[in-house]
């Protein structure tokens, strides 16, 4: 999730100094915008504001107070099943660029992990207003969700 205020100033500045993007800038751009826009932003070093960055897909949310907006989103996510949140993150991280049959296989595998009680039963009951004695909250579930195919590099991924 990427937040910025409307008046933010963003630029791929390296062209001003006769350089190309580094420190993973080119990789980040290719994940967020089309190639022609990545080239334009890189070759011109043009400064854009937060609104333009949102239009281009460089940021996902505009907010006068980005930190507060991010905190609200985190609190909203924290109300959901920790396993479903972890599963959704794993689902998109692993399937975003793979062929459809592989994506569907991974989706099924993750869904099977989620259908194991008691947490899923608790969340389903809570969604229809039942009060249960189980207190939901995020626990350290990395061992359950982090598979061998997912690298530790994901922890530093700015778009994770």
Three-state DSSP at 47 gives coil
| pLDDT the model gives residue 155 | 45
More confident residue, 160 or 33: 33
Q: How confident is the model at residue 110 (pLDDT cuts 50, 70, 90)?
A: very high
In the predicted model, is pLDDT for residue 153 greater than 70?
no
* Over residues 30-54, mean pLDDT: 97
Strand 9-10 to strand 48-49: parallel, antiparallel, or no bridges (unpaired)? antiparallel
DSSP string, 29-85: HHHHS-HHHHHHHHHH---EEHHHHHHHTS-SEE-SSHHHHHHHHHHHHHTS-HHHH
DSSP string, 94-147: HHTTS-HHHHHHHHHHHHHHHTSTTHHHHHHHHHTT---SPPP-----HHHH--
In whole numbers, what is the pLDDT of the chain averaged over residues?
Answer: 85
Classify residue 146 as exposed, middle or buried by CB count within 10 Å of its CB (0-12, 13-18, 19+): middle
* Over residues 18-26, mean pLDDT: 93
> Residue ranges of the domains in the chain?
3-76, 79-156
| pLDDT the model gives residue 101 | 96
Tracing tokens 């460089």 back to the chain, one arrives at 58
In the predicted model, is pLDDT for residue 67 greater than 60?
yes
Q: How confident is the model at residue 142 (pLDDT cuts 50, 70, 90)?
A: low
In the predicted model, is pLDDT for residue 156 greater than 60?
no
Classify residue 147 as exposed, middle or buried by CB count within 10 Å of its CB (0-12, 13-18, 19+): exposed
Give the global pTM.
Answer: 0.70
More confident residue, 125 or 73: 73
More confident residue, 114 or 126: 114
More confident residue, 156 or 60: 60
| Residue among 2, 10, 9 nearest 66 (CA) | 2
In the predicted model, is pLDDT for residue 102 greater than 50?
yes
Q: Which fold has domain 3-76?
A: 2-enoyl-CoA Hydratase; Chain A, domain 1 (3.90.226)
Q: How many CA atoms lie within 13 A of 45 on its CB side?
A: 9
Strand 48-49 to strand 3-4: parallel, antiparallel, or no bridges (unpaired)? unpaired
Tracing tokens 């700015």 back to the chain, one arrives at 158
| pLDDT the model gives residue 133 | 59
């Amino acid at each position: 999730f990427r937040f910025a205020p409307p008046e933010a100033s963003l630029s791929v500045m390296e062209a001003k100094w006769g350089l190309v993007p580094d420190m993973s800038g080119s990789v980040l751009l290719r994940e967020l915008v089309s190639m022609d826009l990545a080239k334009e932003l890189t070759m011109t070093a043009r400064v854009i504001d937060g609104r333009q960055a949102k239009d281009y897909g460089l940021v996902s949310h505009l907010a006068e107070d980005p930190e507060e907006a991010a905190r609200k989103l985190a609190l909203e996510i924290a109300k959901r099943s920790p396993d479903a949140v972890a599963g959704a993150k794993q689902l998109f991280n692993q399937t975003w660029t793979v062929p459809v049959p592989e994506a569907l296989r991974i989706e099924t595998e993750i869904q099977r992990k989620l259908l194991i009680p008691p947490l899923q039963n608790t969340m389903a009951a809570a969604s229809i207003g039942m009060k249960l004695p189980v207190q939901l909250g995020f626990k350290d579930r990395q061992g359950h969700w982090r598979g061998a195919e997912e690298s530790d590099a994901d922890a530093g991924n700015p778009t994770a």
